[in-house]
Structure 1
Amino acid sequence: MFCFNNISQTMATIPLSWSTHLSQRQPNFVAEPPRLTGDPSKIRRFAVSCNHTNHGRDQKHDRENVENIPGKLDRRNVLLGVGGLYEAASLVLSDSPAIASPVSSPDFTKCTRGTNLNTQKPLDVDCCPPLASGIIEYKLPPVQNMRFRPAAQLAGKEYYAKFEKAIELMKALPADDPRNFMQQANVHCAYCNLTYEQAGDPKQKLQIHNCWHFYPWHRWYLYFYERILGKLIGDPTFGLPFWNWDHPGGMVMPEPFTKKDSSLYDARRNKTHLPPVLLDLAYSAKSPTKPSKILPNNLTVMYGEMVRNVKKIDDFYGEKYVTGTAPNPGPGTVERGSHIAAHAWTGEATPSGEDMGNFYSTGRDVIFYAHHANVDRLWTIWRGLRGTKPKDYTEADWLEADFLFYDENAQLVRVRVKDTLENEKMGYVYQEVDLPWLQNRPTPRVKKSKVAATSGAPAAETVFPLKLDKVVKVLVTRPKKSRSKNDKEKEEELLVIEGIEVDTAKFVRFDVFVNDEEDKADELDKAEYAGCFSQIPHKNSINVKTRIRLGLTELLEDLGSEDDEKILVSLVPKDGGDDISIGGIKIIYV
C-alpha cells in the first residue's frame, strides 16, 4: 500500500522524466505512459491505515463495501497509472494517508535488466519489451469463429503440422517485432522477474504470480499468443493444445513436442522425463516418487487442488494483490502444486532448471503454452464446479486491474481482469475429456487415529519460527471441535502455515500431513495428505514472506477426527528445506 504520510517527500521520490534507454534499442516504438482514469470530481476521501497487512482477508471487515460510507473514498474509482500519481495525490492531501488501488499497467520505459535484489549484481538477462507509439484500450471483438483447444494427446497430425508451421513463422519474425517468438517469451519474463516497478508505488516490484492475478494474467497471455499464431497461418479457428496432465492418458510429455526436427522441440528439457515417463505432480529431484505411486498420487493431488482445498475462492485464486503489496503474498492451490511440479519436472535437470524450470526462461519452451492452457482449462472447470456459489471476486481491486500486451497486429493494448471471466466470450473452448480426479476422494490409512494424543510432539506455538531443514511435527490446537453440518456450511476450517520465508531464486517444496502414522513421504494418495508449498527458481532473487491455507473440514471428516482437540501436523521438506523458514501454524475459520 502506498502511504502519503509526507506528500512532499513522496513526490520527491517520483522521477520527473521518462527513461529513454530502451528507445535507443527499439527505435520504431515509443511508449505512452498509462494515465489516471475516471472522473476526479467523483473521487471521495477515505482513511486507510498504513499498517495494512497482506493477509487481512480472513477478517470479515476486510470484505466490507466502502462505496457508500460517508467520508470514505471508493478506492475502486482510483486507478493509479504511471504519470497519474501526482494528480491522485492532489485529491487526497487532507485525511487520506494511503491509497489502495488495483495494480495498473507497468511503464515500459522503466523496464530494466536491473540487479539481483539479494546479491545486488547485474542480471544477465534482458526481457524488456519493444516500446510502442500508443496504447489502445482493448475491447473483446465479437466471436465469429470459435477457437478450439484440443487435448494434446488427442490432436492429430494435421493439427500438429499447422501448429508447427505457426511456431516456425513466429520464430521467423524480425527480432524487434513484439510478436516474435523470443519477444513473446520475454513478456512472461518481464511480468514475473521483478523487471517493472509497480505503477503507483515505485518502491514495490510488479509480480503477477503467487497472487489472485495468476489466472487472469496468464489467460490474457495465451489469448494473444494464440491469436498471433492464428493470424500467421491465416486460421481464425486455431487454438493452442492443452497438456492434459490431470488425466492418466495425458500425463506423459506429448510426443510431437519431443521430435528434434520440430519447431515444438526444446533442448533444455529433462532428458530422463521423455515418454513414456509419467509426469509427477509432486515432483522433487531430491525426493523422487516411486514410479508405481505417481498415478495415484497425481489423482489425489488434483482432487485436493480442485475440490478439497478450495471451498473458499481465496484458496483457489491466491492472496489479494493491490498497489503497494509486496511480491508473492500467497499462491492458490493449483499454482503452488501441480503447476509448479510440471514446470520443474519438464525443465533442464540443473539447479537453474532452464527453460521450463525457471520463470524467466519458461516462455522459450513451446510446451509452456500447452501446460498453461491446461492450467487455464482447470480454471474454467473449477468455476463450473462451483455451481451457484461465488465463482469470482466482486472487488474492483481485482476486476479493474490492468496489464499491457501486444495483440496479433503488433498493437500495444491495455486489458483488464474483468474481461477474462468467461473463456467463451473470449472466443475459445476446450475439448471435453473425463475428469478421473473428481471422484477420487482419498481414504485414510488410519481412521480415528490417536497419534495426536500419543506422539509427544510439542505445541506449535512453542516451536516456531524455525528453519525447515528436517521433518517437523507439531500439535495444533483446534479452537472449535464437533462442529455441526450447519457450522461447516457457514465456515471452512483452515490450517494456515504463515511466515514462509524463501529466496525466489531457489527451488523449494514441502508437503503437509495431518495425523499421519505411516510417515511415507512419497505416498500422497491418502486422506492424511493436506497439501504442499513449492516454487521454481526466478532469475531475480529476493527474499519473500508468504503463506498457504489448507482445508481441514473434509479432511477431518475422512479421518474421523472432528471431535479431536488437537491435530498432529507434519511438515516434510522435499527440496530446499535449508532455504525455507516457517513463522507459525494456526487454525482459522472463514
Structure 2
Amino acid sequence: MNHYNSWLFFPFHRWYLYFYERILGKLINDPTFALPFWKWDFPEGMEIPEMFIPKYTSGILNPLYDVYRDATHVDKKLVDLDYDKDEKKLSNQEQIKCNLRTVYRDMIRNGADTQSFFGGKYSAGNEPGKNEDMGNFYSAGYDPLFYVHHSNVDRMWKLWKGLGLPGHVEPNEEDDWLNASYVFYDENEELVRVYNKDCVNLGKLKYNYIEDPDRDLPWLKVRPAKRSKRLQVASTEEVQRVEQLKFPVSLDKIVKVRVQRPPINNLKMLLDNEVLLLANIRFGCDKFVKFEVYVNDNLKDSVLATPCGAEYVGAFAQIPHFDKAIRSYGARFGLKEVLEDTNSEREGFVTVTLVPKVGCEDLTIGEITIKFVSRRLA
C-alpha cells in the first residue's frame, strides 16, 4: 500500500503515532504518557529540541541520540523549512521570517482546497508507483526525532482544519477515504484494524492540541508584502508560451514559460481554487531532488527572486528512496494570492519560472497547466 503522496498520508501517520504512543506508555508503565511534538512552526521551536542532541546524559548513552543524524543540522542551528542543501547564509531573524512564510504558504496559499493539502485519491484498484535516517524514506523511523516531527505534522492537520477557511475540509464525503483501513499491532501485541473515519475526531482518540492563535501561530500573519507597482518591469527577453515547449521538458536549467489562464465561464468558478499544475514529474528516486517555482517574477534570470518574496509559490522536493526506480509525480500551487500580490490578477497569462536546485539533471516535466479546481474533492 502506498500511503505517501496521497490522501492516506495524514490519517495513516495519525494512527501510526497513536499506537506507537500506546506501546511506549505500556513499556514504561505510564498510561498517561503522551508523545511531545516538535513545534518547528514557532520561532522558539526552530532548533532541534535539546533532549535529542547530547550523545550522553549524566554519563549514560542518550537513547534519543542518533549517531547517523546529519551533524550539520545540530549545533544550535535553525531549521530551514525550505531546505535545498545550500547554506542560505541568512541571519537568524531572516531565517525565522522565511520559515514562517514557508508554513503560511503550505497551510494557506497552497492548502486552499482538499486535494492540495491532503494529496490525490488513492483507492482500491489504483496502481501504486513502481517503485539516511530522517533524510531517506527507508530509514527515517530509526531516528527518535522522526516521531516528534510527525507529531507536529499531525498537529498541522488539526490546525489546517481548525482555520475554517473555504476548502479546509477533510475528504469526509468520500467513502473510499472514510473506509480506508490499516492494520497495526497495539500495546498488547494484538493486530487491530483501524479506519480513517475513526481518527478524524481527536476526541475519540483522547488527545488534542490546544492553541492560542494570537500567540502560537505567528505564521498566520506573514503573508508576503504586495509588490510595488513600480517594480512591474517587463522582461526584455521573449518568453515562450507553453504550447511552444516540447514536452517532456528537461529541468537541467531554468525554464521560463507563459501559461494561459482559463476563462471564468460561470459563477461557480469564482468559488473554485485556481492552481498551477505540474504533471508527470519524472526522475530517479535514489537522490534528493528539489526545484523552486516562481510566478510573474519581474527580474531577469541573472537576478532571481527569493523564496521569501511575493513571487515564490513553493517548491517540489523529494528525499531519497532506497531504490533507483524512475517515478512520476505531480505538484500543485495556489495562484490566487500570488496573482494579487504581484498585481497581475487581471492578466490573461502567467509567467512561470522553474528553478532547479538539487538533483534535477535527469528530471523532466510532462505538462504545465492552470486550472480551476473545486475546493472540495469532486
Q: Deviations over 1:383-418 (max 9, x none)?
A: 101258662111111111111111011111111111
> What TM-score comes out, normalization by structure 2 length?
0.89
Q: Relative contact order (alpha carbons < 8 A, sep ≥ 6): 1 or 2 greater? A: 2
Displacement, 1:509? 0.5
For 1:521 and 1:248, locate their aligned partners in 2 and report how far apart those are by CA, in whole Å.
27
Partner of 1:253: 48
Match of 2:87, as an amino acid? Answer: P
For 2:230 and 2:112, locate their aligned partners in 1 and report how far apart those are by CA, in whole Å.
24
Equivalent pair of 1:401/1:417 in contact (CA under 8 Å): yes
Structure 2: 5+ residue runs without aligned partners? Answer: 57-61, 374-378
For 2:167 and 2:313, locate their aligned partners in 1 and report how far apart those are by CA, in whole Å.
23
> Cα–Cα, structure 1 residues 378 and 279, in superposed 2: closer, same or farther, change >3 Å?
same
Equivalent pair of 2:297/2:305 in contact (CA under 8 Å): no
Partner of 1:158: none
Equivalent pair of 2:269/2:372 in contact (CA under 8 Å): no
Match of 2:107, as an amino acid? Answer: M
Match of 2:365, as an amino acid? Answer: I
For 1:390 and 1:567, locate their aligned partners in 2 and report how far apart those are by CA, in whole Å.
26
Aligned with 2:74 (options 271, 274, 286): 274
> Cα–Cα, structure 1 residues 453 and 272, in superposed 2: closer, same or farther, change >3 Å?
closer
Displacement, 1:296? 1.8
For 1:243 and 1:575, locate their aligned partners in 2 and report how far apart those are by CA, in whole Å.
26
Equivalent pair of 2:293/2:354 in contact (CA under 8 Å): yes
1:365 equivalent to 2:166? Answer: no
Match of 2:67, as an amino acid? Answer: A
Alignment of 1:112-511 (within 5 A): 206-261=1-56, 262-285=62-85, 287-292=86-91, 293-327=94-128, 354-386=132-164, 391-393=169-171, 394-432=173-211, 434-447=216-229, 450=232, 454-463=236-245, 464-480=247-263, 489-511=270-292
For 1:299 and 1:232, locate their aligned partners in 2 and report how far apart those are by CA, in whole Å.
37
Secondary structure at the counterpart of residue 577 of structure 1: coil
Instruction: Name the larger-Rg structure.
Output: 1
For 1:558 and 1:361, locate their aligned partners in 2 and report how far apart those are by CA, in whole Å.
40
Displacement, 1:421? 0.6
Match of 2:122, as an amino acid? Answer: Y
1:585 equivalent to 2:363? Answer: no
Match of 1:392, as an amino acid? Answer: E
For 2:166 and 2:276, locate their aligned partners in 1 and report how far apart those are by CA, in whole Å.
26
For 1:522 and 1:369, locate their aligned partners in 2 and report how far apart those are by CA, in whole Å.
35
> Cα–Cα, structure 1 residues 552 and 389, in superposed 2: closer, same or farther, change >3 Å?
closer
Match of 1:572, as an amino acid? Answer: V
Equivalent pair of 1:452/1:568 in contact (CA under 8 Å): no
Q: Deviations over 1:405-436 (max 9, x none)?
A: 11011111111111111223211122536111
Match of 1:263, as an amino acid? Answer: P
Match of 1:272, as an amino acid? Answer: T
Displacement, 1:578? 0.8
For 1:360 and 1:479, locate their aligned partners in 2 and report how far apart those are by CA, in whole Å.
41
Instruction: Provide the aligned C-alpha RMSD in A.
Output: 2.2
Match of 1:364, as an amino acid? Answer: Y
Match of 1:265, as an amino acid? Answer: Y
> Cα–Cα, structure 1 residues 513 and 267, in superposed 2: closer, same or farther, change >3 Å?
same
Partner of 2:376: none
Displacement, 1:439? 1.2
Secondary structure at the counterpart of residue 498 of structure 1: strand
> Cα–Cα, structure 1 residues 314 and 449, in superposed 2: closer, same or farther, change >3 Å?
farther
Equivalent pair of 2:235/2:298 in contact (CA under 8 Å): no
Aligned with 2:326 (options 526, 535, 543): 543
For 1:291 and 1:532, locate their aligned partners in 2 and report how far apart those are by CA, in whole Å.
19
Q: Deviations over 1:267-322 (max 9, x none)?
A: 1111121132110011111x332223422211111111001112211100001111
For 2:177 and 2:196, locate their aligned partners in 1 and report how far apart those are by CA, in whole Å.
7
Equivalent pair of 1:467/1:581 in contact (CA under 8 Å): yes
Identity %: 47
For 2:223 and 2:276, locate their aligned partners in 1 and report how far apart those are by CA, in whole Å.
19
Structure 1: 5+ residue runs without aligned partners? Answer: 1-205, 330-353
Secondary structure at the counterpart of residue 361 of structure 1: helix
Equivalent pair of 1:289/1:522 in contact (CA under 8 Å): no
> Cα–Cα, structure 1 residues 579 and 450, in superposed 2: closer, same or farther, change >3 Å?
same
Q: Deviations over 1:8-34 (max 9, x none)?
A: xxxxxxxxxxxxxxxxxxxxxxxxxxx
Match of 1:355, as an amino acid? Answer: D
For 1:311 and 1:249, locate their aligned partners in 2 and report how far apart those are by CA, in whole Å.
27
Displacement, 1:487? 6.1
Equivalent pair of 2:239/2:258 in contact (CA under 8 Å): yes
For 1:321 and 1:506, locate their aligned partners in 2 and report how far apart those are by CA, in whole Å.
25
> Cα–Cα, structure 1 residues 379 and 319, in superposed 2: closer, same or farther, change >3 Å?
same
Equivalent pair of 1:327/1:544 in contact (CA under 8 Å): no
Partner of 2:59: none
> What TM-score comes out, normalization by structure 1 length?
0.58
Displacement, 1:453? 6.7
Q: Deviations over 1:516-552 (max 9, x none)?
A: 1245658211221111111111113322212111111
Secondary structure at the counterpart of residue 182 of structure 2: strand
Equivalent pair of 1:451/1:515 in contact (CA under 8 Å): no
Partner of 2:298: 517
Match of 2:149, as an amino acid? Answer: H
Match of 1:494, as an amino acid? Answer: V
Displacement, 1:448? 7.6
Q: Deviations over 1:97-122 (max 9, x none)?
A: xxxxxxxxxxxxxxxxxxxxxxxxxx
Q: Deviations over 1:15-60 (max 9, x none)?
A: xxxxxxxxxxxxxxxxxxxxxxxxxxxxxxxxxxxxxxxxxxxxxx
